[in-house]
Amino acid sequence: MTRRERLRAATEQDIRQHARALLVDRGSDAVTLRAIARELGITAPALYRYYESREDLLRQLCDDICTDLAAELHRISDEVGAEFVDKIFAVCREFRRWALAHPEEFALVFASPRADADQRRPDRFADVFLGIVGPFLAEGAILVEPAVLPVELPDLSSHQESLAAAFSTAGVEIPPEALRPDVMHFLLRWWVRLYGHVALEVFGRFPFDLKHADRLFEAMLHELTRETGFA
């Protein structure tokens, strides 16, 4: 990189650091180009040399948050034993802990609706989830016994190509035989239950006063392992 390119990269990083601080302290509505410019001591129009719009800056901020989260989840996974259940439990627990500790970042990344022009961007939760679970599939760790899918579900085989492409985007190449419809159903069950519980807890949307959400979360993990044949 040239000196000019290094300076530009450093300025972009500085802008995103100030944006993230505003997000954490005051929520996403506080993340405006004017507010960031005020923090940096420059004019708001000057920021357009680095980011096309507020939405562009927020997308970059989402990428930063996802990168940090994925790195932390991979670290947790590497610290535990080699057993699949131990690893996935550790990752799920850390994801919940992170979400509760970073509600504004969680909301920006995982709960913000996508604009019409941005519909083709992959779901952020999928990026993180598939990036963590993908290596287990690639290594053959998730080899559930072939099972008959619930009759009310559509044929998931038609989505195998899309899921393989999503794994590839997450940097994981999965052999086709690892993406059987019953394995996809297995992934969806974990994905939906984990995402749903954490989102309800972060946003305080449980339909009743839940004093022991941690116990419910642990029960959910153990139920999933039994239902999917890992217990």
pLDDT digits (tens, 9 = 90+) for 165-223: 767 766 777 776 667 777 777 777 788 888 899 999 999 888 777 778 899 999 999 98
Mean of per-residue pLDDT scores for the chain:
80
Alpha helices (H) in 41-159, listed in sequence order: 44-47, 54-79, 84-101, 103-110, 124-138
pLDDT surpassing 50 at residue 117: no
**How many C-beta atoms surround the C-beta of residue 105 within 10 A?**
22
pTM score of the predicted model: 0.81
Say how far apart CA 121 and CA 123 lie, in whole Å. 7
Residues listed for the chain: 231
Tell me the percentage of the chain whose pLDDT exceeds 70: 71
